[in-house]
């Protein structure tokens, strides 16, 4: 029984060491990815807003694996503020900036966006569509956009429409 206990204790020690090693590598990879995404976030934000600045911060913990994420943005002519203080359109463009920043760091072959242009005015839809054009060239990602916005539809390469009517 002592041999079994020693084996069990040894296995526990090895397991804890392995978990700590995985956590350490995870922290390193997380911080590396965070820095890349943070740089791209500012780049994309600046393009979508035609100026300003944006940054990401890890909050609520010193451990990046347990930390939360805060987006601090400064639209052109405004001071640095949390995303929660932005208008609906600014909020949507900021969220899109983060999504596209992640795509630029780790592109995917396909992306589906559902009504992301709904809170945007025509000027911002034009910026959004311009950014989509750039992203398709840079990443080779195929974007499927679900929208009711006529301006967005006019900028797409292909349109598919389905209309269902139910008569009662």
pLDDT tens for 40-77 read 999 999 999 989 999 999 999 888 888 999 999 998 88
125: left (phi over 0), alpha (psi -120 to 50) or beta: alpha
What is the mean predicted confidence (pLDDT) over 32-37?
A: 95
CA–CA gap between residue 131 and residue 58 (Å, rounded): 27
CA–CA gap between residue 83 and residue 96 (Å, rounded): 12
Q: What is the pLDDT of residue 166?
A: 58
User: 47 or 84, which is more confident?
Assistant: 47
| Whole-number Cα distances in Å, 144 to 107, 115, 157, 159 | 15, 11, 10, 10
CA–CA gap between residue 75 and residue 50 (Å, rounded): 9
What is the mean predicted confidence (pLDDT) over 121-127?
A: 91
């Amino acid at each position: 029984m002592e041999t079994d206990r020693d084996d069990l204790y040894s296995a526990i020690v090895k397991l804890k060491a392995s978990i700590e090693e995985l956590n350490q590598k995870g922290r390193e990879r997380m911080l590396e990815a965070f820095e890349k995404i943070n740089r791209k976030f500012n780049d994309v934000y600046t393009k979508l807003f035609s100026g300003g600045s944006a940054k990401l911060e890890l909050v609520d913990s010193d451990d990046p694996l347990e930390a939360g994420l805060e987006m601090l943005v400064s639209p052109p002519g405004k001071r640095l503020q949390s995303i929660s203080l932005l208008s609906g359109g600014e909020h949507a463009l900021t969220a899109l900036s983060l999504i596209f920043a992640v795509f630029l760091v780790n592109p995917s072959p396909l992306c589906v966006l559902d009504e992301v242009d709904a809170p945007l005015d025509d000027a911002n839809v034009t910026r959004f569509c311009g950014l989509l054009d750039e992203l398709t060239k840079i990443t080779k990602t195929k974007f499927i956009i679900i929208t009711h916005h006529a301006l967005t539809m006019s900028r797409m390469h292909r349109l598919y429409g389905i209309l269902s009517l139910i008569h009662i």
